[in-house]
Amino acid sequence: MILPLALINYEYFFRKQEKLSFRMKRLLPFLLIAIFYIFLRFTILNFALASPLKKAIIFSPNNIIRILSFLKGTVLYLGLLVMPINLHMERFMLPAKTILDPDVLLFIFLLIISLIILKNLKGEKRRFILFGMVCFFIFLFPQSNFMFIALMAEHYLYLPSIGIFLVAACGFNSLYNNRIIKKSLVSPIVIAILIFFGLLTFSQNYVWRNPLTFYRWEDRYARLSYITRNNLANIYAFLGKDDLAIEKYEQALTISPNTVIIKKNISIIEDNLIEKYKNVIKFQPEFAVNYYNLAYIYQRKGRVDEAILYYKKAIELRPYFAEAISNLGNVYERQGKFEQALIQYKQAIAINPNFAQAYFNIGVVLAEQGKLKEAQGYFEKALKINPDYRKARDYVEQIKEMLINN
């Protein structure tokens, strides 16, 4: 679809002297193919319910924001070309809502600088640079932030980069032929650039060497992507790292709570872990931690009777197992057996006075019983032990607000 535009760009800058009829005859086959394809996309090849055009601008609230976001996205894409570090999939960009956005201002600044430079250039050089710049925008626009206001993807730069590399090549050529600058200085600069980008290429190939390294790298950057975490969890599950798999599945569920496949994957892993720990217990019945792990999985699956049974076995083997005692209290709390739950939590605190989660759990039970002031005290104790306990801090703030309103 955009190839005819690129060809028109070429014809305008480098074939202007030829007759218009001859140039149109040369372009006509490409234009007809593009028009025919567009017709197909809006008819028999339109697999979406909505028009392809509406689908393309689904993330775009209005034209002003789309234009500003296009300017911002262009600057970010140029930045990736100049300094391609920390590359990753599933990029998201906050839309630009005002002309005072720093990236929008930077675009305007770069545009002014470019116009000043172009004004001082003449002939072939000016025409070549303009051709490259127009190529960049032609190839970028269909996938730009004008169409997909919040989405960015590094592979969208593959074709647009041609235009920028043409401009860069023209710039280096001018630098090499400049009478003031010594030619001997240009070669080391080019070699240094080649080495720099070569090393970046090598490091990026290291990231892409297998699915595990790829998704672990993605996991560092795509914080809002449940797909990344689900895929990484699938790999961990395949490698037999069930605990890591469940951790990543749960992170994916936090982002997308209603995704059925993730819940199904977690259930499969949990069933596998149940069989695994049951087999381990047959050969190592004296280790309390195996009963604890099995009880925890049953607790996650909502099978409270089995969870209680195995937590009690773990405590029987290790009477001072504070985590097992506290988790047993969690099971009682979910059953509505608040008094039994409090007994377990207080017993866990007696064993480990710095057990922040047990204080937090007592606070939850007291809050559910309407004893807000007492609950607040326990949440504050949990915070004192662990100042980064976000849930405890949230509960304290909520209780303070409720007490003020009452």
The CA–CA distances, whole Å, from 70 to 33, 54, 58, 140, 390 equal 28, 17, 15, 10, 37
**What's the confidence (pLDDT) of residue 57?**
46
Same domain, 96 and 241: no
**What's the confidence (pLDDT) of residue 54?**
53
Same domain, 161 and 51: yes
**What are the residues whose beta carbons fall under 8 Å from the beta carbon of 154, sequence distance 6 or more?**
80, 84, 87, 88, 89, 91
The amino acid present at 214, given as its one-letter code, is F
**What's the confidence (pLDDT) of residue 174?**
82
Q: Report the alpha-carbon distance of residue 111 to residue 16 in Å, rounded.
A: 26
Same domain, 44 and 115: yes
**What's the confidence (pLDDT) of residue 56?**
46
Buried b vs exposed e over 138-151: b needs ≥16 C-beta within 10 Å?
bbbbebbbbbbbeb
The answer to whether the CB of 353 falls within 8 A of the CB of 369 is no
Same domain, 75 and 166: yes
Task: Give the residue among 25, 95, 106 at the shortest CA–CA distance from 59.
Answer: 95
142 DSSP 8-state letter: G
Residue 123 tokens read as: 């002939």
* Position 396 in a domain: no
Dihedral angle sign, alpha carbons of residues 188, 190, 191, 197: positive
Q: Last residue of a domain, which of 181, 206, 231?
A: 206
Coil/strand/helix, residue 91:
strand
**What's the confidence (pLDDT) of residue 59?**
52
Task: Give the residue among 127, 100, 182 at the shortest CA–CA distance from 14.
Answer: 127
Q: Last residue of a domain, which of 167, 184, 206?
A: 206
Same domain, 187 and 221: no
Coil/strand/helix, residue 92:
strand
Same domain, 175 and 237: no
Same domain, 62 and 130: yes
Same domain, 60 and 190: yes
The CA–CA distances, whole Å, from 191 to 81, 83, 84, 254, 280 equal 18, 16, 17, 47, 59
Task: Give the residue among 343, 350, 368, 359 at the shortest CA–CA distance from 391.
Answer: 359
Q: Last residue of a domain, which of 148, 176, 206?
A: 206
Helix (H) or strand (E) holding 309: helix 304-317
* Position 289 in a domain: no
**What's the confidence (pLDDT) of residue 32?**
94
Same domain, 255 and 176: no
User: What's the total number of domains in the chain?
Assistant: 2
**What's the confidence (pLDDT) of residue 300?**
86
The amino acid present at 276, given as its one-letter code, is K
**What's the confidence (pLDDT) of residue 277?**
85
**What's the confidence (pLDDT) of residue 44?**
83
pLDDT string in tens for the chain (406-residue length): 889 999 999 999 988 888 888 888 999 999 999 999 988 888 887 766 555 445 544 555 678 999 999 999 999 999 999 999 889 888 888 889 899 999 999 999 999 999 999 988 888 889 999 999 999 999 999 889 888 888 889 999 999 999 999 999 888 888 778 777 776 777 888 889 899 999 999 999 999 999 999 999 999 988 888 889 999 999 998 888 888 998 899 899 889 888 888 888 888 888 888 888 888 898 888 899 999 989 999 988 889 899 999 999 999 999 999 999 999 999 999 898 999 999 999 999 999 999 999 999 999 999 888 888 898 899 999 999 999 888 889 888 888 888 777 6
* Position 404 in a domain: no
* Position 237 in a domain: yes
Same domain, 151 and 273: no
* Position 288 in a domain: no
Same domain, 276 and 146: no
Same domain, 18 and 166: yes
**What's the confidence (pLDDT) of residue 49?**
57
> Domain range spanning residue 112?
3-206
* Position 353 in a domain: no
The amino acid present at 149, given as its one-letter code, is I
94 DSSP 8-state letter: P
Q: What is the CATH number of the domain that holds 266?
A: 1.25.40
Coil/strand/helix, residue 152:
strand
* Position 395 in a domain: no
* Position 367 in a domain: no
